[in-house]
Chain A
Amino acid sequence: MLKNRIIPCLDVKNGRVVKGINFVDLKDAGDPVEQAKIYSDGGADEICFLDITASNENRDIIYDVVEKTSKKCFVPLTVGGGIRSVEDINRLLNCGADKVSINTAAVENSKVVIDSSKKFGSQCIVVAIDAKKNGDKWEVFTHGGRNNSGIDALEYVKQMQENGAGELLVTSMDRDGTQVGYDIDLMSKISSKVNIPVIASGGVGNLDHLVEGIKLGKASAVLAASIFHYGKYSVKEAKEYLDSKGIPVRI
């Protein structure tokens, strides 16, 4: 039976982890390679890096981080943030990323998803969607949540599936950082719109939220940052909890 996945996400800025786990035995708490290794040793089903480096001159650091991580972690590695072109994707994959997540570029230029999924296969193309509720619909935002594209998220996801996305990473902007749980309504509506797997993101504050994301939100995988970063729960604890709630996980 296919298992639901737990994906810890690390925010990386200028090659350093922004919100890191704080372990005493950690030599360098800001080192993304070391943090990723802790997650994969702890049973993470995948690792996600979100590069939030703002300045262009430091953008190349992420390639080095990915290269080092892929030599130490033997679970899938997804990298997102700042991907503009097929060439950017090519470079990340060559450095050892297994998947890339594309956000703004997927909205602005549909060719990026179409061409990259043809060239590298849908299996490595994740489209990341930042959605915010407006009345009775959700709108897609770009540029790290700063710009409203006005596009209806439920229409958009169908288009992305057609364009060749292999997975969707859906973040509720209303919930992100609140720790009150995923936007279940959004997740379940998107999941029933498409036939590709949905990864739920944004708003996790406790382990029951992970359960809800899968059971009610119909997500194939759940992504979380803070609950793992600050050591509130380990990946192992999260998995054992899901298992106790009857959710199939890899233990």
Chain B
Amino acid sequence: MNVTIVDYNSGNISSVINSFKEVAKDKVNIEVTSNLNKIKSSDKVVLPGQGSFKSCVEALKKIDGLIDTLNEFAITNKKPLLGICVGLQMFADIGYEETETKGLGWISGKVLKIDNQNGKFKLPHIGWNEINIIKDSKIFKDIKNNSHMYFVHSYEFIPEDKKVISATTDYSSKIVCSIEKENIFGTQFHPEKSDKIGLNLIQNFLNLK
């Protein structure tokens, strides 16, 4: 099996690479590339994302044909894709970080700044928080409700269709932290930095049929 981590200059992805390689061992081939043909021939794709919504979307656009290739992979061919952090946020129609920016539009919704309730909640939301699993998701196999995951973000994805939400976390409000829509998966938290439970989630993604 070939899994591609999309390298589109969206900041630091070494931790994502290290964690996937740790889980994959020799059984799964992990590619780190923006090569369109390699993405097309992959069995699964991981879309990381750091920095702002705007900078990530711009970085995707800078690579000719990358967005079309991802659309074909995830929407037309319905192959498994995992978005992490801003990688998940970009599934939305629109994001409001820095300025209004169009997303990939795979899952209707928008990305807004977390309401800090007049400074009551510090932003970024940094650290370990519990996830409330509200829907069975294939990537949560063997992961208990209220497990801790590592978060670093100031913006949250608000999908229109609440049925895609597989987990939330409590910070100011119930923040969407995991989604599953058919073949599309996403986590707001960082499985690559969430210790053994995070690696378990990565394993679940790699195990998907």
Contacts and interface: CB of A to CB of B under 8 A. Distances in A.
A71 B129 contact: no
Contacts of A70: 14-15, 18
Contacts of A220: 122, 126-127
A120 interface: yes
A1 B11 CA distance: 28
Tell me the interface secondary structure of chain B in the complex.
Answer: mixed
A120 B124 contact: no
Contact of B148 (A3, A94, A123, A124): A3
Majority secondary structure, A binding face: loop
Contacts of B51: 119-121
Contacts of B11: 93, 119-121, 124
Interface residues on A, range: 20 to 34
Contacts of B150: 75-76
Interface string B8-37: 000110110011011000000000000000
Contacts of B152: 123, 166
Interface in B130-189: 130, 148, 150-154, 170-171
A2 B148 contact: no
Interface stretch (B74-82, B99-107, B192-200): B192-200
19 contacts: A2-B128, A3-B128, A5-B128, A70-B15, A74-B18, A74-B19, A75-B193, A75-B195, A76-B193, A93-B14, A94-B14, A96-B14, A97-B12, A98-B12, A120-B51, A121-B51, A121-B55, A195-B119, A220-B126
